[in-house]
Chain A
């Protein structure tokens, strides 16, 4: 490590502090808004609760006590089910595909392992808007429209490329000898995968699972088009609030805060895994 002179060290901390403000102030502003009312917002801007204004809980009581309560709790429940469901499902399917592509040798027509991996990875390129309307027609016709099952299935597919990428990378980095020994002991390939490989691949699985959960929790377009009255998720609730509430900032801020809070907690606790997932295969 190269040691910095004092002036440089001070500049570094100043820049870090500057970016802390950039990264955190919008969140801070939203949280303070959720504790304001019409008077406080229109006569402001006020920045410091208890110092230049006294906080009120109007937004939060709007959310948990009066009219919004049912819609909010439904959206929260739907988001939880979709996020965890698609996380688990894509983890199971993606780990298996990642394991297969890492350990077996495939030859389907002219397709080999590399081509199959590329096929899955290339799904990342597809913009959701490019398939959303045909998907809408097919969902309506097949009865998947406005069901949590349909949305979860869709999020699973969108999450698959990243799970396969992370898990293939994870299995590639693990020694194969233990599994070979298990085969000699009479286990099947599936047995070796389940009993030997998956337990030591846990870090990659955690990383992949979290990334899919984050995606599903935050996704808007699919949820907006493919659900309506029963299966809407939190981002959809936020978006409809924006267009329907005008300057009812306090409720909006409370909804926004409640939407982002769970992921912020996850990020703070599991940062290591998130970074691991994001950088999988990128650094050699």
Chain B
């Protein structure tokens, strides 16, 4: 796609008018808090112990001075240097959460891709009511992960009252879905896949439908079988879209929290916890804001490093394929 940038001449202030509002909002709501978090991560700030005066009354901007004084006083009184990071080095829950993040991203996402590829290929066949299947297969991606967690993780995978309960009774099996860390993580991967597969499927289907039909006609005339056509043509042509979809999924899988929170709460113990959930539970529910913010900053650096590596290696591959 050719970028027509520069085709409309505009004065400096006009150009700024278009981009600046979005930039400023992003800066104040996301960039500034992230940088401010670096300060907080060197403190023992707690939700109950470190009180703020709050907004008081009047227009916010007139009280900026008060706010800055209030917050810097809180930071000074709770400053504990690199204690948080020293504690993190020996924190098993932190290590487990980091490991789970990697499992969900690098085992979960490839599984999502395989199923989604199968579905996209099915939907690309000559079938009746294609539109109907496309719409229904998209539905899981519309549902709040919190609701999915309850709907599948709790209501369906219920040992006593779930839909599998009667069969289990008759076969004399005791159902238990989340009693070990391995089982808990495995079922969470399945539930997360149920949610995410439609997204990958939609991307791959768009890729399949954008392929020129003539080359497949040509392959058929040349006598190429289905399997050879897929391996030699369809799959390589689909590679750029595939990699884009997989990278996007990995980015989003790193944020996984809601499903786990509802289904296992991170348990048994901390076994199925991700870093997002650990930060939420320790920082917000238990109120250890200082330590959890230190976790959050390390998490952010970790995510940026992993995604940058992916973009540099795989991203270059994508660009060379286009």
What is A's interface to B at a CB cutoff of 8 Å? 1-4, 9, 12-13, 15-16, 19-20, 22-27, 29-30, 33, 41-42, 44-45, 47, 93-94, 96-97, 99-106, 113, 116, 119-120, 123-138, 140-143, 153-154, 156-157, 160, 164, 169, 172-173, 176, 179-180, 183, 188-190, 192-193, 214, 217-218, 220-221, 224-225, 234-235, 238-239, 242, 247, 249, 252-253, 256, 259-260, 263-264, 266-268, 271, 274-275, 278-279, 281-284
Contact = CB atoms under 8 A, between A and B. Distances in A.
Contacts of A133: 37, 40, 279, 283-284, 289, 292-293, 296
A24 B203 CA distance: 21
Interface in B116-146: 118-119, 122, 125-127, 131, 133-140, 142-146
Contacts of A106: 5, 15, 19
A102 B45 CA distance: 44
B18 interface: yes
B102 interface: no
B79 interface: no
Contacts of B150: 238, 242, 252, 256
A44 B33 contact: no
Contact of B280 (A124, A132, A157): A132
Contacts of B23: 97, 116, 119-120
Interface stretch (B87-95, B177-185, B254-262): B254-262
5 contacts: A1-B126, A15-B122, A120-B26, A127-B255, A141-B52
A97 B125 CA distance: 39
A137 B203 contact: no
Interface of B: 1-11, 14-15, 17-19, 21-23, 25-26, 29-30, 32-34, 36-37, 40, 45, 52-55, 60, 67, 70-71, 118-119, 122, 125-127, 131, 133-140, 142-152, 154-156, 160-166, 194, 199, 202-203, 206-207, 210, 213, 216, 220, 226, 241, 244-245, 251, 254-255, 257-258, 261-262, 275-277, 279-280, 283-284, 289, 292-293, 296-297, 299-300, 303-304, 307, 322
Contact of A218 (B125, B139, B145, B163): B145
A256 B307 contact: no
Contacts of A123: 26, 30
Query: DSSP class of A's interface residues: helix, strand, loop or mixed?
Result: helix
Contact of B202 (A9, A127, A224, A279): A279
Contacts of B21: 93, 96-97
A190 B18 CA distance: 9
A164 B1 CA distance: 16
A104 B52 contact: no
A208 to B, nearest CB: 13
A132 B30 CA distance: 10
Given A101-B19, A106-B15, A132-B284, A13 B127 contact: yes
A256 B206 contact: no
Contacts of B280: 129, 132, 221, 224-225
A6 B202 CA distance: 27
B279 A260 contact: no
Contacts of A103: 4-8, 10
B299 A129 contact: yes
A44 B178 CA distance: 22
A129 B275 contact: yes
Contact of B261 (A15, A45, A239, A284): A239
Contacts of A274: 138, 142
A136 B289 contact: yes
Interface centre among A136, A137, A180 (most CB of B within 10 A): A137
